[in-house]
Amino acid sequence: MADELLKLTQLGINKVLNLSIDMDGIPGTETKNAKKEMLDYLVSAFVQCGHNWNSSFNLIGIRMDDNYTNGFTDFGVITKKDEIFCFPMSTKPGIGKVLNPPTVSGVKGVAVMKEGQYVDLYEYNGAWWSGMPFLLQIGAVDAYRDSDLNTTITREVVQSDKNLPSRFKLNFHSYKSSNWSWNLDVLSYLRPDKTYSNLSEGCQVNKKDTMTLIEPLLKEMGASGKITYTLLHF
């Protein structure tokens, strides 16, 4: 029987490493070798960036490009010892907020998490408005503040919430739809005239079906304390 998370892992490995292994959700020698290659690639990237590799668990985002698309065009990775799991996600905000950027502590621009390693950034929490568990930002993070209203990341302005009164709330969460333009019941009730494409204001976002698959891993990771998140640029 095909393993759905393994299918996503095979997809992620193909995209990141430019391979063409079968995405059938069935373990085999080809997939085993590709997963080892992916692990080696990530460990090497951590070394090059000066990040610390955790031998037990790692939560990683891979930003595949700089384009705002309202799509799951990036990849998330969870490593558990020598095992690896990949899944589509977005590390970028939705176009709704890109085109209508907020002002935070005097700095205008939508938040785009800056690439880097954020130690003890998240803690595991139970069900949220999405109906799924999520990771709450509790540690400090740096974000680009993009205010030029185009559809690619601008890195000229960087803001940290380390010394601000509150965190940016760049959480790690899911929601119900397969795309970014949908009418969530509770939001439609509040604003029935509006189509929502701003469900990420800089959060790290995946689909609900994906969160169902990775939630046990996140819960296990969170049981030992705070969760470090590392965001790489492809």
pLDDT digits (tens, 9 = 90+) for 30-71: 999 999 999 999 999 999 999 999 999 999 999 999 999 888
Which residue's entry shows tokens 């010394």?
A: 163
Whether 181 has a pLDDT exceeding 80, the answer reads no
Percent of the chain scoring above 70 in pLDDT: 87
Q: What tokens were used for 101? A: 């950027």
Do residues 202 and 93 touch, judged by C-beta distance below 8 A?
A: yes
Q: Is 233 exposed, middle or buried (0-12, 13-18, 19+ CB in 10 A)?
A: middle
Whether 122 has a pLDDT exceeding 60, the answer reads yes
Length in residues, the chain: 234
| d(C-alpha 91, C-alpha 111), whole Å | 11
Domain count, the chain: 1
- 157 vs 189, residue with greater confidence: 157
Buried b / exposed e across 194-227, counting CB within 10 Å, b at 16+?
eebbbbbbbbbbbbeebbebbeebbeebbeeeeb
Which residues, 6+ apart, have CB-to-CB distance to 120 below 8 Å?
Answer: 138, 139, 225, 226, 227, 228
Whether 131 has a pLDDT exceeding 90, the answer reads no
146-165 residue pLDDT tens:
999 999 999 999 999 999 99
**What is the domain range of residue 153?**
4-233
**pTM for the structure as a whole:** 0.90
Residue 44's H or E segment, with its range, is: helix 29-49
- pLDDT given for residue 189 in this prediction: 33
